[in-house]
Copies of this chain bind each other. A is one copy, B any other.
Amino acid sequence: MDRRIPVDDRTGRRIVPETARRADRPAPRYGTRPTMKDVAARAGVGLKTVSRVVNGEPGVTPDTERRVQEAIEALGFRRNDSARVLRKGRTASIGLILEDLADPFYGPLSRAVEEVARAHGALLINGSSAEDPEREQELALALCARRVDGLVVIPAGDDHRYLEPEIKAGVATVFVDRPAGHIAADVVLSDNFGGARDGVAHLIAHGHRRIGFIGDMPRIHTAAERLRGYRAAMEDAGIAVEDSWMSLGATDPGRVRPAAEAMLSGPAPVTAVFSANNRVTVTVIRVLAEQPRRVALVGFDDIELADLLQPGVTVVAQDAAALGRTAAERLFRQLDGTLVAPERIELPTRLITRGSGELPPAE
């Protein structure tokens, strides 16, 4: 009988006066948080009255409100949002899954998403997938289990059918930087194709014909698009691309360096390089600095201090902040119910000339 404390407790609540109950549970035990019930007991009011005060709802006299506030203060009460979410359905939080927190490209993007979330009174939860599709899925589903209202995803994988039940259940979803796989959803992208084409055309306009391309694995959408842009520009200029001018693989220095060195040597070396992302660009800059000849360079993605190098690095810049802002705003419009059909939005890139892309071909 006294094993079944919970039942005693419950019936007790109806029989024993409130003051006795309080003595029985001295509210703020270490490691236990005070609840609204504790606050109510201390303030000598009903549970719902505390709720009203906490949420700023009308219908509470100033005097009562003061008593409740004092109790909240004294106990260090903080509303338990888990319980609130459970009751209300919406969490006022959105998730952001990016690929690598340490990549400077994602800083401004993440920040832009946070700004928009904040403007909508929502909290941003983010995690990084480390470019691993499995981890991306794991993270996305964990966030959904937490019942975020929406997700901004920079995809690592190429199949997002696992999100179908979530989207159907009303989780707003926007993909950024790369499109979603096998699923209809909003996507916000940079114009990777056009940007790369323009960058390569810029080199061609400066007299180059043997132009190298160093990019990421083509299974990554952005990498494939940039490669396509390179090919298009070359074709437009009537230049036949040789296989030895292209490197499509990992972007770590250990792999990029030999690739760059290879296309810069031999009987007919390239006179210019188009590097298809910021990591590649950094390595290529190092390699070019060691070359006796001046080799032209245009990089995709801006890099910090690019203007201070000799020569300054000409780049095709994406507007990371705009990507994030656009995606987040679209997400909240989904939540408003303003949006209907998924859309694909492409933001323009910008060619920034700083010197390296304007070097003439050197033998």
Residues of A in contact with B (beta carbons under 8 Å apart) = 28, 30-33, 75-83, 85-86, 91, 93, 100-104, 107-108, 110-111, 114, 123-128, 139, 141-147, 164-166, 168-170, 282, 285-286, 289, 303-305, 308-310
Contact = CB atoms under 8 A, between A and B. Distances in A.
A150 to B, nearest CB: 13
B170 A30 contact: yes
B76 A165 contact: yes
A282 B104 CA distance: 15
Nearest to A142: B123
24 contacts: A30-B169, A30-B170, A31-B169, A31-B170, A75-B165, A76-B164, A76-B169, A77-B165, A78-B144, A80-B86, A80-B145, A81-B147, A82-B85, A82-B146, A100-B111, A101-B107, A101-B114, A102-B107, A102-B111, A114-B127, A114-B128, A124-B126, A125-B125, A285-B305
Contacts of A86: 80, 82-83, 86
A104 to B, nearest CB: 5
The complex is assembled from copies of this chain, and their number is: 2
Given A31-B169, A303-B305, A108 B104 contact: no
Contacts of A125: 123, 125-126
A306 B309 CA distance: 10
